[in-house]
């Protein structure tokens, strides 16, 4: 789903600044804690997505990802 389409439907996504894990539709950004690294710093300004189904995959290993989920490819 493109960024414009997601915004039209009210879908908000925030990426962890530390590990790039994406949380969809966060309820309270001030109390948000990343389930992967525990960081409390998030941004909505990121580009690209990768969905990791198996943390043992070559892609996850290459990107340094240790937990399945949705991740930003880069932060702006």
Residue 50 belongs to domain spanning: 3-75
Total-model pTM: 0.80
Domain count within the chain: 1
pLDDT in tens, 6-56: 444 556 899 999 999 999 887 776 678 999 999 999 999 999 999 999 999
Give the per-residue pLDDT at 17. 96
Q: Are 75 and 48 in contact (CB under 8 A)?
A: no
pLDDT band at 2 (very low <50, low <70, confident <90, very high): low
Task: Say yes or no to pLDDT of 63 above 60.
Answer: yes
In this structure, which long-range contacts are made by residues 37-43, counting pairs with CB atoms below 8 Å and at least 24 apart in sequence? 41/16, 41/17, 42/14, 42/15, 42/16, 42/17, 43/14, 43/15, 43/17, 43/75, 43/76
Give the per-residue pLDDT at 7. 47
CATH code of residue 18: 2.20.28.90
Give the per-residue pLDDT at 18. 95
Phi-psi region of 48 (alpha: psi -120 to 50; beta: other; left: phi over 0): left
């Amino acid at each position: 789903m493109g960024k414009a389409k997601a915004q039209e439907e009210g879908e908000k996504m925030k990426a962890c600044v530390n590990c790039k894990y994406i949380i969809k539709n966060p309820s309270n950004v001030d109390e948000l804690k990343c389930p992967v690294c525990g960081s409390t710093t998030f941004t909505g300004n990121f580009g690209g997505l990768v969905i990791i189904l198996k943390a043992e995959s070559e892609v996850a290993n290459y990107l340094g990802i240790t937990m399945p989920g949705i991740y930003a490819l880069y932060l702006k």
